[in-house]
């Protein structure tokens, strides 16, 4: 039987609970079954095509069904699909680790693998706490920025600060304190938050294992952006007070900000870097935590000393996932992707100007291939983002606003024509709000 949208929707809704979704919304909001993807396009079972302007939740880099990545998976599939990663190893992961160490900031010399962004964050948090404990210090606190997001497992949720996701679970959170993120991406906005960071480190530094932050762009925090000088200051202060710096580049890594990693804009090296999302080009779940030799060495000892990091996931370092990650790095190298996106970033920047004068626009911001338009004058109950989302779908563009912030984070291979269409549809969606 040929599948149709409606048939699949009905079957789905009778058995599935979707992530980050109030399922009752689907009484009026149609689910969209996707039949295939090619390049920046997704296509449903009725032949409707949508530009994936959000890279399928910020993961896709080089388009759907990328021929090069596909061929690499096929090759790997013939050899090895998976193997236990304790006591055993495989070539794709060794190659990947060597390459990641080369391209990440100086000093990150060791890779620990997990299978999604949240569990990567958990690894970094546990390892940081455990490092201090191995040195005879108990530091039960983590420090993070206001408005931050680090994932949704309990530990990752606890260090985040997006109330919508966190508030319900208040009673069962591990301890974290938040220091203010700079208000905007100006140089001036950096000063006060750094003073506040130093005050907290001075007062409670000995209780704090690490400061975790999303460098430059707080993606789930409505694409809030801040100046690289904050990172420079935070790196200096965490060093001075003996607290680890964890850079959560799960979303910002792999070219999104215009450089391979957002930390490069500030020229800093964190003690830990967490990568996922774009790591596999948007193909398969995989995450990696890179850390310094100093951290690794605090765990290296005789087994009986209880200093070992006994953390694992069944699918840690899956060979197929590592293969897609290697293929992703191949494409970055062979196709000079970082050079190729520079004119696109500039082009998007020019096109964003038209939004600034609209009466319902409060702010327009951009960092590399990530850009956002913040609307004003609406109450949350109006669910203004949902209206733009629906308008986008009706007109062939998948936008998925965060509340009243409309944003673009397209695959890096998006063409200039596709950028035109993506922005034109968003513009009409936003101006429509003024007349409806
Ligand atoms: C998405 C995200 C995570 C969590 O990754 P998952 O794979 O969704 O668990 C963590 N940190 C940041 C900055 C993210 O954007």
Together in a domain, 172 and 139 = yes
**Shared-domain flag, residues 354 and 281:** no
- Computed over every residue of the chain, the mean pLDDT equals 97
- Can you give the pLDDT at residue 305? 76
Instruction: Answer for the pair 309, 40: CB distance below 8 angstroms, yes or no.
Output: no
Residues 314, 428 share a domain: no
User: In this structure, are 270 and 385 located in the same domain?
Assistant: no
Vertex 163, ends 385 and 392: CA angle to 5°? 15
pLDDT at position 55: 98
Interval 257-312: pLDDT, tens:
999 999 999 999 999 999 999 999 999 999 999 999 999 999 999 887 789 999 99
Q: Count Cβ atoms below 10 Å from residue 423 Cβ, excluding itself.
A: 21
Query: For a substitution probing ligand 1, which of 220, 273, 409 has the most ligand atoms within 8 Å of its CB?
Result: 220
In the structure, what pLDDT confidence band is assigned to residue 191 with cuts at 50, 70 and 90? very high
Ligand 1 pocket check for 256: Cβ under 6 Å = no
Question: What pLDDT is recorded for position 3?
Answer: 77
Ligand 1 contact via 271 beta carbon (within 6 Å): no
Is 385 near ligand 1, meaning CB less than 6 Å away? no
- Tell me if 290 is assigned to some domain: yes
Q: Under a CB-based contact definition with an 8 Å cutoff, are residues 198 and 239 in contact?
A: no
Dihedral angle computed from the Cα positions of residues 108, 113, 117 and 122, in that order, rounded to the nearest 10 degrees: -90
Of 334, 365, 390, at which residue does a domain stop? Answer: 334
* Domain boundary pick from 334, 358, 389: 334
Is residue 25 assigned to a domain? no
As a whole number of angstroms, the distance between CA 381 and CA 378 comes to: 8
Q: Which atom of ligand 1 is nearest to the CA of 156?
A: 10
- Name the closest-CA residue to atom 7, ligand 1: 117
In a domain, 311, yes or no: yes
Q: Is 72 in the pocket of ligand 1 (CB under 6 A)?
A: no
Same structural domain, 128 and 274: yes
Say if residue 24's pLDDT is above 60. Answer: yes
* pLDDT for res 298: 96
Stretch among 1-5, 21-25, 76-80, 222-226 having the lowest mean pLDDT = 1-5
- Tell whether 175 and 44 lie within a shared domain: no
Minimum CA distance residue for ligand 1 atom 3: 151
Quote the pTM value. 0.98
Residue 10 in domain: no
**Domain shared by 286 and 425, yes or no:** no
Please tell me whether residues 89 and 161 are part of one structural domain.
yes
Can you tell me whether residue 194 is helix, strand or coil?
helix
Q: Is the pLDDT of residue 1 over 60?
A: no
Give, in order, the Cα–Cα distances in Å from 134 to each of 82, 131, 300, 309, 405.
33, 5, 10, 10, 44
Each residue's pLDDT tens digit, 210-253: 999 999 999 999 999 999 999 999 999 999 999 999 999 999 99
Token pair for 249:
């580049």
Distance 136 CA to ligand 1 centre (A): 31
In a domain, 176, yes or no: yes
pLDDT of residue 255 exceeding 70:
yes
Domain termination residue (choose one: 334, 361, 385)? 334
**Pair 236, 291 in one domain:** yes
| Parent domain of 209 | 70-334
Q: First-to-last CA distance in the chain?
A: 41
Pair 190, 119 in one domain? yes
Pocket test for ligand 1, best of 149, 249, 261 (most atoms within 8 A of CB): 149
Is 2 among the domain residues?
no
Question: Is 214's C-beta closer than 6 angstroms to any atom of ligand 1?
Answer: yes
CA 248 to chain CA centroid, Å, is 8
Q: What is the pLDDT of residue 236?
A: 98
How much distance in Å is there from the Cα of 150 to the middle of ligand 1?
A: 6
**pLDDT, tens only, 111-128:** 999 999 999 999 999 999
At residue 2, does pLDDT exceed 70? no
Task: Look at the chain and report how many structural domains it folds into.
Answer: 2
Strand partners, 291: 110, 272
Of ligand 1's listed atoms, the one at least distance from the Cα of 119 is 9
Do residue 188 and residue 152 come from a single domain? yes
Of 166, 155, 161, 92, the C-alpha closest to 118 is 155
Q: 320, 284 in Cβ contact below 8 A? A: yes
Q: In the structure, what pLDDT confidence band is assigned to residue 163 with cuts at 50, 70 and 90? A: confident
Residue 107's pLDDT band (cuts 50, 70, 90): very high
**C-beta 121 within 6 A of ligand 1:** yes
* Residue to probe by mutation, ligand 1, list 54, 156, 251, 288, most atoms within 8 Å of CB: 251
Domain assignment of residue 252, yes or no: yes
Residue 22 CA to ligand 1 center (angstroms) comes to 20
Q: Which residue has the tokens 């080009």?
A: 281
Same domain, 101 and 41: no
CA of 118 to the centre of ligand 1 (A): 6
Mutate to test the pocket of ligand 1, among 60, 118, 181 (most ligand atoms within 8 A of CB): 118
**Can you tell me which atom of ligand 1 is nearest the CA of 220?**
15
The answer as to whether 274 is a domain residue is yes
Q: Residue 176 maps to which CATH number?
A: 3.40.640.10
Query: For residue 203, how far is the Cα from the chain centroid?
Result: 31
CA of 305 to the centre of ligand 1 (A): 33
CATH number at residue 426: 3.90.1150.10
Whether 249 is in the pocket of ligand 1, judged by its Cβ within 6 Å, is no
């Amino acid at each position: 039987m040929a599948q149709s949208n409606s048939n699949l929707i009905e079957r789905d809704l009778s058995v599935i609970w979707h992530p980050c979704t109030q399922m009752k919304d689907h009484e009026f909001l149609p689910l969209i079954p996707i039949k295939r993807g090619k390049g920046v396009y997704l296509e449903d079972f009725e032949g409707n095509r949508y530009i994936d302007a959000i890279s399928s939740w910020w993961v896709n880099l080089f388009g759907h069904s990328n021929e090069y990545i596909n061929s690499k998976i096929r090759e790997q599939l013939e050899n090895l699909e998976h193997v236990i990663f304790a006591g055993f190893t495989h070539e794709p992961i060794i190659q990947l680790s060597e390459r990641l160490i080369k391209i990440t900031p100086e000093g990150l010399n060791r890779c620990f693998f997990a299978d999604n962004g949240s569990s990567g964050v958990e690894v970094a948090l546990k390892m940081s706490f455990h490092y201090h404990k191995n040195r005879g210090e108990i530091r039960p606190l983590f420090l993070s920025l206001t408005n931050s997001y680090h994932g949704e497992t309990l530990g990752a949720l606890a260090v985040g600060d997006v109330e919508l996701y966190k508030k319900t679970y208040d009673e069962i959170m591990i301890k974290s304190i938040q220091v203010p993120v700079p208000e905007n991406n100006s140089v001036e906005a950096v000063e006060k938050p750094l003073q506040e960071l130093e005050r907290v480190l001075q007062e409670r530094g000995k209780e704090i294992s690490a400061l975790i932050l999303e460098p430059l762009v707080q993606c789930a925090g409505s694409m809030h952006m801040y100046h690289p000088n904050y990172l420079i200051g935070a790196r200096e202060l965490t060093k001075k007070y003996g607290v680890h710096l964890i850079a959560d580049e799960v979303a910002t890594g792999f070219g999104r900000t215009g450089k391979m990693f957002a930390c490069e804009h500030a020229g800093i090296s964190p003690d830990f870097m967490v990568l996922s999302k774009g790591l596999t080009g948007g193909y398969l779940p995989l995450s990696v935590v890179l850390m310094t030799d100093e951290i690794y060495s605090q765990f290296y000892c005789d087994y009986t000393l209880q200093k070992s990091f006994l953390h694992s996931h069944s699918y840690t370092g899956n060979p197929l996932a590592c293969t897609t990650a290697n293929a992703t790095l191949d494409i970055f190298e062979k196709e000079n992707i970082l050079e190729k996106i520079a004119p696109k970033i500039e082009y998007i920047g020019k096109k964003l100007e038209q939004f600034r004068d609209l009466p319902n626009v409060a702010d327009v911001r951009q960092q590399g291939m990530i850009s956002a338009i913040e609307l004003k004058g609406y109450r949350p109950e109006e669910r203004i983002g949902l209206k733009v989302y629906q308008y986008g779908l009706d007109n062939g563009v998948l936008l998925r606003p965060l509340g009243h912030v409309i944003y673009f984070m397209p695959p890096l291979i998006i063409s200039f024509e596709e950028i035109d269409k993506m922005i034109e549809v968003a513009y009409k969606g936003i101006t429509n709000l003024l007349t409806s």
